[in-house]
Amino acid sequence: MKKLALFAAVAASGLALAACDSQAENEVEQTAEAIDEADEAQADLIEAVEAGGPNEEAAERQADAIRERGEETKDRLEDEADEMDATPQ
């Protein structure tokens, strides 16, 4: 029960913060998250296909690079989105 209350409080505070963002900022942040999730899925697929095979280590390195690329892209886009509302129009 305490976990449910904690989750509800966190969700409510997230919604309150989201209300402060512009629609454009929210869209950029959603796009950033989608890119990161797509790269994560691609990395998982590469690892699954090569698991136990002779190219497993190379596949893991490739997957790690893809994950990092997704995370860096997400971070960059989120930073740019945050600046959208901070920049006077």
Per-residue pLDDT of 23-55, as tens digits, reads 989 999 999 999 999 999 999 999 999 999 999
> Does the reported pTM lie above 0.85?
no
Kindly state the average pLDDT of the residues 4-32. 66
Distance between CA 67 and CA 85 in Å, rounded?
28
Distance between CA 5 and CA 88 in Å, rounded?
38
Q: Which long-range contacts (CB under 8 A, 24 or more apart) does 79-88 make?
A: 80/28, 81/21, 81/24, 81/25, 81/26, 81/28, 81/29, 81/32, 82/25, 84/22, 84/24, 84/25, 84/28, 85/20, 85/21, 85/22, 85/25
Q: What confidence score (pLDDT) does residue 84 get?
A: 80
